[in-house]
A and B are shown apart, each in its own frame.
Chain A
């Protein structure tokens, strides 16, 4: 959401006319810790991808995984579930 709407620009009842516009909402802003993947330890099992409640982890062509930080809220579930200990949550810095 680059342009912040004024109250005059809203549809009556805040109706949204553009389907799927929630994808423009940067939930990554909520994050205080960021997952960092150690590719050496990762065995590409996909548990992080399976458990991520935001669907913020995507499968790359080479079979490894990456986190979309636009959506990642930093909940740490991926790090908790990873059997290889390949994901570390690190503090976001200003």
Chain B
């Protein structure tokens, strides 16, 4: 184990290196570029024995990895924003063909207007693509979750691709101390990738065959059940990670662990600022807590409703808009998850932090005050924005 100062992008690249990936196919795009640039250097310098395929687009990057994963290679790529959108149709093919490609996504706003800065619009547009998806809060989590992603995605009971989301710039370009395990430690945690039915001329199989109406519905049901059932390995993977490296992860996190009356809910790196706001409020004696979601797909229904059950008010912060829809995507999903619960908090939805706009500790404190006020007055609307000039 080494303690090194790394920006989030390099933490992602280091994790892919110590996981000993076989094939990387990638196209550079801000704010992800440093990840694949560093990996290209590693391959060129002989630090990593892998095929690095320069491709002409993100669509090709993921398409290349379909083939590589299908012959049994351990695969990795990274993208962001428009790049993730250009991959869109191939995302569904990777998950439906059950190819465990691991991808870091440095979350970026979607054009127009052109923005290279961070928000969660790219992630939300691919939420139903069938990938396991987690959100990291800092560089340490980026590295840890990528190692965990290989362990979980490649498990024979899972075989799903995994997206590790890291906020563009707020994580990708921030240098932080990161504990990096040695390759030997990772080798003990991460067994070799062994695809059960790889493309092999001696044992011919057909992948991605035509699925007429007689079989398509059964194929989709099998995929959906398998993704939901991957939860067991997801949780076990985090237990094994804790045993191997000493750091614990869970689908959702509650701070403090005992349920507070008012909860702020966030996802990704802004959770760290939100926690400062919550701590400040608690010092003033207010009964406030923070609930952050790490596992986005499969959605952690049980953990979420368990954590929110005792709260009176749940204030949800989203970094993207569902245009013309019911507000923030995270708020929508949380509301759906809580709807059938007997005991559930009042949910207030806020949208902000779009296209790289910062949300300060003070603004999170204002969000909490405003959320409590809305619930007290009984003036619950669809959603409000924070930090947007009127």
Contact = CB atoms under 8 A, between A and B. Distances in A.
Interface string A2-42: 00111110111111110101100100000000000000000
A6 B218 contact: yes
B218 A13 contact: no
Given A1-B214, A5-B215, A5-B218, A17 B225 contact: no
7 contacts: A10-B215, A12-B196, A12-B226, A14-B211, A14-B222, A15-B197, A16-B207
A14 B209 contact: yes
A13 B96 contact: yes
Contact of B97 (A4, A13, A17, A21): A13
Interface of B: 96-99, 159, 196-197, 204-212, 214-215, 217-219, 221-222, 225-226
Contact of B197 (A1, A4, A5, A11): A11
Contacts of A8: 222
A22 to B, nearest CB: 8
A92 to B, nearest CB: 19
B266 to A, nearest CB: 34
Contacts of A12: 98, 159, 196-197, 222, 226
Question: What DSSP secondary structure best describes chain B's contact surface?
Answer: loop
Contact of B218 (A7, A17, A25): A7
Contact of B222 (A4, A7, A22): A7
Given A7-B219, A7-B222, A13 B207 contact: yes
Contacts of B226: 12
A12 to B, nearest CB: 4
Contacts of A10: 215, 218-219, 222
A11 B156 CA distance: 12
B197 to A, nearest CB: 5
Contacts of A19: 204-206
A13 B195 CA distance: 12
Contact of A14 (B159, B196, B204, B215): B215
Contacts of A14: 96-97, 208-209, 211, 215, 219, 222
Contacts of A1: 214
Majority DSSP secondary structure for residues of A touching B: loop
Given A7-B222, A8-B222, A12-B196, A17 B214 contact: no
A13 B211 contact: no
A13 B214 contact: no
B129 to A, nearest CB: 15
B98 A13 contact: yes
Contacts of A4: 214
Residue of A4, A14, A22 with most chain B CB atoms under a 10 A cut-off: A14
A10 B99 CA distance: 16
Contacts of A25: 212
B215 A17 contact: no
Contacts of B225: 7
Nearest to B197: A15
Given A5-B218, A13-B96, A15-B206, 15 more contacts: A4-B214, A7-B217, A7-B219, A10-B219, A13-B98, A13-B99, A13-B159, A14-B96, A14-B215, A15-B97, A16-B205, A16-B206, A16-B207, A17-B197, A17-B205
B196 A7 contact: no
A85 to B, nearest CB: 35
A7 B206 contact: no
Residue in A7, A8, A25 whose Cβ sees the most chain B Cβ within 10 Å: A7
Contacts of B205: 15-17, 19
A80 B200 CA distance: 43
Interface string A65-90: 00000000000000000000000000
B250 to A, nearest CB: 27
Nearest to B96: A13
